[in-house]
Each structure stands twice: as C-alpha cells, then as structure tokens.
Chains A and B, each alone.
Chain A
Amino acid sequence: MRQVRHIFKKEFTAYFISPIAYIVISIFLLITGWFFFTPFFLYNQANLRNFFVLLPTVFSFVVPAVTMRLFSEEFNVGSYEILLTMPVTFRDVVLGKFLAAVAFLATMLLPTLAYPVFVSFLGQLDWGPVLGGYIGAILLGAAFSAVGLFASSLTRNQIVAFIIGMAVCFGLTLIDKMLFFLPHSLLGFFEYLGADFHFQNISKGVIDSRDVLYFMSVCFVGIYGARLAMEQRS
C-alpha cells in the first residue's frame, strides 16, 4: 500500500505540473456552469437537477481526457520500463494511477460546490439530493476513470486512448436511452448496464446498494482489464 501512495502522489501532482489540469477544469466548469445556469432561472426551482442530469454526458468526454495519459504517455516516453523495474507490483501501479484520476475528478468537482451554496441563498434547497448527487458524481467519475485507465493501458497513443475511453463511457451513458430498439426480454439487463440510469437514481438522493454495486463493478472491470493489459506487455 505504501507504493500505491507514492505512485498516487506522483500522478496527482503530475496533473498540476502540466497545463492539462487547468485546461480540463476550466472547460468542465464552463460547460457545466453554462448548461446549469441558462435554464435555471426559467425553471425557477431551487435544486441542482440540471447540473446532475448533464453530468454523465460531460464526464463521458472529460474523464477520458483526464485518464488518457496515465499509461499511454509512459509507454510512449518509455518511462514505463523505469517504473516497472522499480520494486512495485502491477497492482500498485494500477491502483495508484486510478486513485490519482479519481482524486483529480474530486478536485475538479470542488469549485462546483459554489452552485448549491448559491442556490441555497435563492430558495429552500433540499440538501439530500445534492449530497446524493455528489456521491453519485464521485462514483460515476471513478467508474469512468477505470474505463479510461483501461483504454489508456491498451495503446501508446493518447488520442486513441481518449477516443476508446470516450466511446465506452458515452455508450454506457446512452445505453438506457436506446432501449426501444431492443427486445423486451433484454430490457432489464441493458437498463442495468446504463451508467446514467444508476447515476440518476443516486442523484435523487436515494443511495441504493444496487447502484453502488454497479459503479463498483465497472471500476473493478476497468482496473482488472488494465492490469491484464500490463501483464500482456511483459
């Protein structure tokens, strides 16, 4: 676990050394801010629904951009060789990088806490859904990070990693909206696969173990996939 901590620390600070962090955070705040506040005064309701409804779609683009460099850059520069010849295991590397990405997403969400504070001045804000929404956002971000991490472990090209990650995340977001194409018997299964479906459940303020389990499973599959990809390379 000690090694996970060191790798986490290095990866997390690496985000803030390069301009990536600042660009991604700015774009994220710009998009969510715009789409949240534009209809906010039209609906005239003191809640954060609009912010959370949009989050899975925004995360589908933002999270792969955050995770794309995690492995691809190391493969490309060759520092992967240096990393793996130090006394670390595959598990240490994967977990350290994964946690760094999740921590970065949490940092990115931090400024948006200004929204509920702002809204609470305007009207009677129900803090339950807000709290649920933020817990859901972290779970969703973690699941997408795992997907992005796996995409990054497949290729040395960051753009390819981004596109693969985005395609999978976007697919998971949209899948439960395309159910009318599918036969009735498969509906339940595909609905369960949809990240948006589970996220919207949580962001209503109801933290159901099925939804949490879903996000945990996606994390596990992504992390395990990245680990297998690392093993494949050695």
Chain B
Amino acid sequence: MSATALSALQEGLVSCETCGLLSRPAGADQRGRCPRCGAGLEARRRQSIQRTWALIIAAAICYIPANILPVLTTHTLVSSESDTIMAGVIYLYTSGSWPLALIVLVASVMIPIGKLVALGYLLISVQRGSVKNNRDRVRLYRLVELIGRWSMLDVFVDAFVVALVQLKPLMSVEPGPGVLFFMAVVILTMVAAQSFDPRLVWDSDGDGQGRNG
C-alpha cells in the first residue's frame, strides 16, 4: 500500500506540518512559509536524525544519575533519609501497595527507557533505509510522542510533596539532585521525539532520494 503512495517530497511539493496544505516550495534553498497558515515550511525537518541522536544520547546519560541519585530527602525529627526512584518503588512494593509500585515503576523507569529505545530503533531503522513495518514504526512514534508528557508524573509528585510536606521541625522533604536529572531525561526525550521527523520513515520507501540527515 505504501509502495503506491507518493510523498510530497517526491513530487517536489511541501506539506505544511501545521495545517496540512500542500504547496510548492518557494525556491531551491528558501524554505518559505505556508500560504494559508504562515507556518514555516520544510520538506523535512533539518538535521532531524542528528539532533534526535544528540538528544537521545544526552537523555541516556542523564538517565543514569537520575536513577542513582536520590530524588527525595526526607528529614524527620531524628533522622533523614534519601530515596532514589527504585528505592521508592521497592518501598511501595514491600509495604504492600504493589499497584502504586507498578505505576511508579512504569511511569518513572520503564517509560523513559522505552522512549529512548523506541527513538533509537526509529533512528537506526531510518538510517539503514529499512522499509519494513513502516506503519508500525510510525505508530510507535505516535505512541512515544503521546506518552512523553506522562513521564513528568514523577517530577510533579516530587514538587507537590516538597511543597506540601514542610512541617518543620517535625518533618520536611527536600528534592534530591536525582529529580533534576530525571526531569532532564523527560524533557530531552520529549524534545527528541519532536525533533524526529516521522516522514523520514517512509522516505526510504521510494527510491530513497531526498533523505535528510
């Protein structure tokens, strides 16, 4: 099916990413603007693959301290305790609330890593000019874009808890350095997902021309 479909690029046309209007490009090297909505037009996002790679690598680097460093430091009257994300998950699980543990595990550990793996897979497959499972890959991309925002859950919880639990001197909660890295992971993966141009997926489907990297 995809084999029969033409892409705008192959026809020398540019589609607006905002309103979907198909238009002719303004000139060879000029990008131009959409005549209907005024959005900037590009045949393919510039340096999409390189940018996405850079952001994914940055996110992957941040992912390590995000999990090693504590995200939350709880000071009580007599002691203070620092917890990492995994420690929180383990604590929730051992204290009996395994559904919560599962939610935190999925939202905070599995989704970021899943996004990294998914984007990496998309990039590699695009770079290798793979033509298999084009639709699945685009679906995967949509999924990554959709769930990206939900990964901020942990950061929000952290911010809420820190703001609310300030019962000094009995108890207080402070954010740990881990939460900064975690936030960086989430933001970087979201930006990476944005900078990846899904249209690249089916560029290889034709004769492979116009690939932009």
A-B interaction: no
